[in-house]
Structure 1
């Protein structure tokens, strides 16, 4: 007897908070053959909040913190057939039952692809990365509410940058173990949306059907200006130096947000 997902293609979107996964999820959901978790009560329609099989990012510190908790990093050794059936059943309550490609996105997927592959061996993974400075600046604002409630202070920029580094260091370790995947930079989606989405469609086994996507170039330009104007105290300077090697693997320069080099990962 087969599994209920045997005639479906499961695609997991992976990327940190503020890396562009919400935009990609919305774009993929425009394809007539794609079923997404849409219109749910979950924040940003993230699948992590619609199941009880594994802990959410919030259980491990929330945005800008969760990857520092070793328990947040899940691999195939944490997977079991029972978990796969329970997880699929919980998401299937929301997924349309007439679509052959089913997608899910949650920030912790970035460091749980091996686990999800262990549950669903034929799953596909779309990995989105974004410049660490842009993510750190955006996540600082997102995480501050959590930090104020728990720690009584704003989220430090050096802390959110270190989180990017920690998460993407784990990503680099995990990528060789993930079979069916495509990785692209958020910045590449703005420069070549057709090429990026064609790669996503090929991975998922989809024909044409995505609605065109246009990103606002002023958003990244504003982050570049903010980053250039941000004083680097000792904590932030140390976080920048710590991030350089990992960032370079994705073609990023910590001193120039507009410079994109060759991706050496993925």
Structure 2
């Protein structure tokens, strides 16, 4: 018999546009004590979105450089799926894929970027990490998948993150990490994640290369686009500027611990 008073694992949901570094952050988070992700599935990148039937996810859902500006894929607390049955089905469908005894279940799917407000309602103690990457690098990286001009892909990036900014006031616990900060100081980024989860840090589980380097010379931001992304510390020609970072958490001690570990960027 299950002990109804036994501590239940909490969820850490990781999201962001495709090719932003969500898989990297997923592997980092999984290295922390008490945390673990989905393993052993046939789903792409072991993404939980493919392993559940509670929130419909068809072949038309989550398409790279399309989903984040599709109003039908922006799921909030007002969505009809905000009900107990959805939570129970998610738990039921995901249970077999997570190791037992975890404190944190780490679930990474890019579409979490637009589902955080609904997921927070379903799992009130969940926390979220959003991963950003320079829009020029994202556009160049997804170009092989998506038949669209670089300017259109960057416009999508701008619109997606404007929506993110509008969602942030509704979230209790969210950490925004930049890919560029992770590759600059991976150990420090992993310590930030540990502080955000209020758990012990761990060593970086892998060597991390600069994946932006191959995209030097990619089509640059227009002046209008540059204005839109400046709030995230990005500029034309893959420029990455110092940025204060962003963390929200109900506990001041956690917020301050994360902020103290922020990665400076020249």
Which TM-score band applies after superposition, normalised by the shorter structure? Answer: 0.7 to 0.9
Alpha-carbon distance in structure 1 between the residues aligned to 2:240 and 2:45: 30
| Candidates 135, 140, 147, aligned match of 1:132 | 135
Contact persistence 1:251–1:261 (CA under 8 A): yes
Aligned length: 244
Deviations 1:54-98 (A, max 9, x none): 233742461111122111101111221211111111111211112
- How big is the shift at 1:178? 0.8
Q: CA shift at 1:2, angstroms?
A: 9.1
Is 1:19–1:186's contact at 8 Å kept on the other side of the alignment?
Answer: yes
Residue number in structure 1 paired with 2:123: 120
SS in 2 for 1:116: helix
Q: CA deviation at 1:3?
A: 7.3
TM-score, length-scaled by structure 2: 0.83
Match for 1:97 among 83, 93, 100? 100
Q: Tell me the residue number matched to 1:232.
A: none
Q: 1:122 and 1:216 mapped to 2: Cα distance?
A: 33
Would the aligned equivalents of 1:162 and 1:243 in 2 still touch at CA under 8 Å? yes
Q: 1:173 — aligned with what?
A: 166
1:60–1:4 CA distance, 2 compared to 1 (3 A): farther
Please name the residue that 1:9 is paired with.
Answer: 10
Measure, in 2, the Cα distance between the counterparts of 1:5 and 1:72: 34
Deviation at 1:141, TM superposition (A): 1.4
Within 2, Cα distance between the matches of 1:208 and 1:265?
20
Give per-residue Cα distances to partners, 1:197-238, cap 9 Å, x unaligned.
111111222212343443212x3122123336xxxxxxxx7x
The 8 Å contact of residues 13 and 106 in structure 1, kept in 2 or not, is answered as: yes
Give unmatched runs, 5+ long, in structure 2.
Answer: 248-266
The structure where helix makes up a greater share of residues is 1
Cα-Cα RMSD:
2.4
1:25 match: secondary structure = helix
Q: Does 1:107 align with 2:110?
A: yes
Q: 1:94–1:212: structure 2 CA closer, same or farther, 3 Å change rule?
A: closer
d(CA) in 1 for partners of 2:125 and 2:37? 18
Residue 201 (structure 2) pairs with residue 220 (structure 1): no
Cα separation, partners in 2 of 1:5 and 1:18, compared to 1, 3 Å? farther
Partner Cα separation in structure 2 for residue 65 and residue 113 of structure 1 = 17
Correspondence list, 1:56-71, <5 A: 56=57, 58-60=59-61, 62-71=63-72
1:262 maps to: 243
Deviation at 1:182, TM superposition (A): 1.2
Query: How far does the alpha carbon of each residue in 1:165-216 deviate from its partner, in whole angstroms, 9 at most, with x for none?
Result: 2211110000111111111110000112222211111122221234344321
